[in-house]
Amino acid sequence: MECIFTTINNWQTLIGAFLGGVFALLVALLVSYKTQRREELSDL
């Protein structure tokens, strides 16, 4: 069990960067979707 915690501690920066990148990508996609939807509704 201690081995798992040691491994996580060693890879903490990489895991944080990966999760941060995934979160940023999801936010960008959400903003893009909302903007596109708003433009479609304003064209009606």
Split into its structural domains, the chain has a count of 1
Three-state SS at 1? coil
Please indicate whether residue 30 or residue 40 has the higher confidence score (pLDDT). 30
The CA distance from 30 to 24, in Å, is: 10
Token look-up 């491994």 returns 7
pLDDT above 90: residue 4: no
Tens of pLDDT along 8-38?
888 898 999 999 999 999 999 999 999 999 8
- The residue count of the chain comes to 44
CA 31, 32, 35, 40 dihedral sign is: negative
pLDDT above 80: residue 44: no
What pLDDT shows up at residue 19? 97
Residue 11 DSSP class: T
Structural domain of 29: 2-43
